[in-house]
Amino acid sequence: MPPVFSPAELAPMDVAGRVPRLLELLDAAGCDALLVTKAENVRYLTGFSGSAGMLLVSPAGSLLVTDGRYREQAGEQVASAGVECELVVDAAKGQLDALASAAQRHGRLGLEATSVTWSLQQRLASSFDRSELVATRGLVERLRAVKDAGEAARIEAACDVADVAIAQVKSMLAEGCTEAQFATELEAEMRRRGSSGASFETIVASGPNGAKPHARPTERVVGRGELVVVDFGATVDGYRSDMTRTLCVGAPEGELARLVEAVFAAQRAGLRAVAAGVTGGAVDEACRTSLVEAGYGDAFLHSTGHGVGLEIHESPAVAKDSADILGPGTVVTVEPGAYLAGFGGARIEDTVLVGSSVARPLTKSTKDYTL
Residues forming contacts to Zn ion in the complex (CB under 5 A) are: 231, 242, 244, 333, 349
Nearest-angstrom CA–CA distance, 191 and 4? 10
Nearer to Zn ion, 64 or 326 (CB): 326
CB of 357 to Zn ion, least distance (A): 24
**Max CA-CA distance within the chain?**
69
152 Cβ contact list (under 8 Å, min separation 6): 11, 329, 331, 353, 362
If the CB atoms of residues 83 and 263 are measured against Zn ion, the closer one turns out to be 263
H or E element in which residue 236 lies: strand 235-236
CA 298 distance to own-chain centroid: 27
Radius of gyration of the chain (CA): 22
- Smallest Cα–Cα separation from 33: which of 98, 107, 87? 107
Closest separation in Å from C-beta 298 to Zn ion? 21
**Shortest distance (Å) from residue 351 CB to Zn ion:** 8
Nearer residue to Zn ion within complex by CB, 5 or 232:
232
- Cα dist from 186 to 40, 233, 315, whole Å: 26, 10, 27
Give the residue from 221, 195, 199, 196 showing the smallest Cα distance to 209: 221
Q: What is the DSSP letter of 59?
A: T
CA separation (Å) from 103 to 43, 60, 233, 286? 21, 10, 40, 47
3-state helix, strand, coil in the chain (%, to 5): 40, 25, 35
Min CB(164)–Zn ion separation in Å? 17
In 3D space, the residue among 208, 168, 207, 211 whose CA is nearest the CA of residue 189 turns out to be 168
| Cβ at position 313, least distance to Zn ion in Å | 7
Of the pair 311, 349, the CB lying nearest Zn ion is at: 349
* Comparison of 40 and 231: residue with beta carbon closer to Zn ion: 231
Amino acid at 124: L
**Pairing between β-strand 350-354 and β-strand 331-334 as defined by DSSP bridges:** antiparallel
Q: Are 227 and 209 in contact (CB under 8 A)?
A: no
Q: How far is the CB of 173 from Zn ion (least distance, A)?
A: 18
Calpha distance 156→241 (Å, rounded)? 8
Least distance in angstroms from the C-beta of 335 to Zn ion: 5
Toward Zn ion, which CB reaches closer, 32 or 179? 179
Q: Which is nearer to Zn ion, 95 or 244 (CB)?
A: 244
Rounded to a whole number of angstroms, the minimum distance from the CB of residue 77 to Zn ion is 28
C-alpha 331/C-alpha 347 separation (Å) is: 19
Residue nearer to Zn ion on the CB measure, 19 or 230: 230
Nearest distance from residue 44's CB to Zn ion, in Å? 20
In the bound state with Zn ion, the residue whose beta carbon lies nearer, of 131 and 246, is 246
